[in-house]
């Protein structure tokens, strides 16, 4: 199985900050990497598909990059509604696996 490791597990930031979350795959997954946002008590929402594609309706302050084993999600200017949890996922091979999640908290 492909292991997905996110870092950090949590971070504290302020409104307006630029934030980067990293996801590392245990083997080459090309660009088969997605990012999700999840608010408490709600279903996840797809933000970024295929490593860098911005899902329809997602604000442009979210961006993704990377290929192979190392990927990043960047939020260019944190907004109050962005202080939630983010998870990466690989769909290169089954079982599709998720990272453990990164919780973004208010500093």
Partner 1 sequence: EVQLLESGGGLVQRGGSLRLSCAASGFTFDNYWMTWVRQAPGKGLEWVANIKQDGSEKFYVDSVKGRITISRDNARDSLYLQFNSLRVEDTAVYYCVRARRYCRSTTSCPEGLDYWGQGTLVSVAS
Which residue in 20, 22, 24, 46 binds partner 1 (CB under 8 A)? Answer: 46
User: Which C-beta is closer to partner 1: that of 24 or that of 45?
Assistant: 45
Instruction: State yes or no: residue 40 binds partner 1 (CB under 8 A).
Output: no
Rounded Cα distance, 73 and 7, in Å: 11
Q: Evaluate the CA torsion angle 65, 53, 69, 86 in order and state its sign.
A: positive
Rounded Cα distance, 66 and 50, in Å: 10
Instruction: State yes or no: residue 68 binds partner 1 (CB under 8 A).
Output: no
User: Could you tell me the CA-to-CA distances from 57 to 12, 46, 62 in Å, in that order?
Assistant: 26, 10, 11
**What is the closest distance, in whole angstroms, from the C-beta atom of residue 55 to partner 1 in the complex?**
7
Instruction: State yes or no: residue 97 binds partner 1 (CB under 8 A).
Output: yes
User: Which C-beta is closer to partner 1: that of 83 or that of 98?
Assistant: 98
User: Which C-beta is closer to partner 1: that of 19 or that of 87?
Assistant: 87
Radius of gyration of the chain (CA): 13
Rounded Cα distance, 3 and 25, in Å: 6
Binding site for partner 1 (CB under 8 A): 1, 30-34, 36, 38, 43-46, 49-51, 53, 55, 87, 89, 91-92, 94-101
């Amino acid at each position: 199985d492909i292991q997905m490791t996110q870092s950090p597990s949590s971070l504290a930031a302020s409104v307006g900050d630029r934030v980067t979350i990293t996801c590392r795959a245990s083997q080459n997954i090309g660009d088969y990497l997605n990012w999700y946002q999840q608010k408490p008590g709600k279903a996840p929402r797809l933000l970024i598909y295929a490593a860098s594609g911005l899902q329809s309706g997602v604000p442009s302050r979210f961006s993704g990059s990377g290929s192979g084993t190392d990927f990043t999600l960047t939020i260019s200017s944190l907004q109050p509604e962005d202080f939630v949890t983010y998870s990466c996922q690989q769909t290169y091979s089954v079982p599709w696996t998720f990272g453990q999640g990164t919780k973004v908290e208010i500093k």
